[in-house]
Structure 1
């Protein structure tokens, strides 16, 4: 039997630019808070020194909510495609 990871150190899953200016990025990570595993989707601001720093913009949900979040994003993707909103690269 495997022991659940305590996620003392966040595990980065994905990172992508939020805008064309490349001064903000969206980070998706698995993390933990007080022993609870979380999925964290957060906007980071890139300073003039090139270091990404987390902002207050974002959401942290219990990992058990991840299937619901994934389903909601999948529905949004299908709807955006049906409306022709992604034909220009999504911006």
Structure 2
């Protein structure tokens, strides 16, 4: 049985009008990860922006490693 799509993994406010959202979803029947800014529409509902990062779930581990390295370098730069 397939999982419901999309699955929101995480989201947090980017600023007063936008939210950053990480989702697992599908495109043309293939699983993908989608990192996108969502904005509040005139009706008050969140709407996805056109730009973002969407890639195959096969890239998730490398993406996570790259983000962990970026965090490590940021922490080192703060010292």
**TM-score normalised to structure 2 length:** 0.88
Larger radius of gyration: 1
- Report SS of the residue matched to 1:57: strand
Residue ranges of structure 1 left out of the alignment (5+ in a row):
86-91
**For each residue in 1:36-57, what CA deviation from the matched residue of structure 2 results, as whole angstroms up to 9, or x when unmatched?**
1000000101235431100012
Question: Are 1:35 and 2:18 counterparts?
Answer: no
Over aligned residues, Cα RMSD in angstroms?
Answer: 1.8
- Which residue is equivalent to 2:57? 63
Is the 1:24–1:44 Cα contact (8 Å) retained in structure 2? yes
Number of residue-to-residue matches in the alignment: 79
Residue ranges of structure 2 left out of the alignment (5+ in a row):
none
**TM-score normalised to structure 1 length:** 0.77
Is the 1:25–1:43 Cα contact (8 Å) retained in structure 2? yes
Q: Say which structure is richer in strand.
A: 2
